[in-house]
């Protein structure tokens, strides 16, 4: 009985090693999606500002067509550029890119009723000065 127990423990060794290794690799894969600490990573209070800019949809569609990307990619790149400009003006641009949580519909086909929403993390390329590079980051 003791011999069997020892053999079972020995057999756990490689599996435990592989599990730990996978955990470390997974941690390395997710680390690029860690947002830098900055002025946006604080509890929300009353001292917030909001600014908006309106552009014709045709401008977005033209960029989409020329670059061979999606409208969502163009929107993410534009948002990244706007945040980059704002943070430079505030002297608060971090070295690492900002990461946005983007809602996505998980609804399939013609299903009706209810919400079926998920989210994904998107690199906004705020550390990049070139808009074309930022668009490439939005469309990996």
Model pLDDT, residue 23: 53
Q: In the chain, where are the structural domains located? A: 56-107+115-140
In a 10 Å sphere around its CB, with 0-12 CB exposed, 13-18 middle and 19+ buried, how is residue 35 labelled?
middle
**pLDDT above 90: residue 73:** yes
Model pLDDT, residue 74: 96
User: How far is C-alpha 113 from the chain's CA centre?
Assistant: 28
Model pLDDT, residue 10: 53
Residues 80-128: tens digit of each pLDDT: 999 999 999 999 999 988 988 889 888 887 777 778 889 988 889 999 9
pTM given for the model: 0.68
Residues 11-55: tens digit of each pLDDT: 555 655 555 555 544 444 445 556 678 888 788 888 877 888 899
């Amino acid at each position: 009985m003791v011999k069997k127990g020892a053999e079972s423990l020995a057999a756990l060794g490689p599996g435990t090693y592989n599990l730990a290794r996978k955990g470390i690799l997974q941690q390395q894969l997710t680390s690029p999606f860690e947002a830098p600490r900055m002025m946006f990573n604080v509890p929300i209070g009353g001292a917030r500002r909001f600014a908006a800019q309106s552009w014709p949809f045709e401008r977005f569609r033209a960029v989409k067509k020329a670059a061979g990307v999606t409208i969502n990619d163009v929107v993410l790149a534009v948002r990244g550029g706007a945040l980059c400009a704002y943070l430079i003006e505030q002297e608060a641009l971090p070295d690492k890119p900002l990461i946005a949580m983007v809602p996505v519909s998980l609804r399939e086909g013609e299903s009706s009723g209810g919400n079926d929403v998920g989210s994904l993390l998107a690199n906004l390329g705020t550390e990049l000065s070139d808009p074309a590079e930022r668009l490439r980051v939005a469309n990996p």
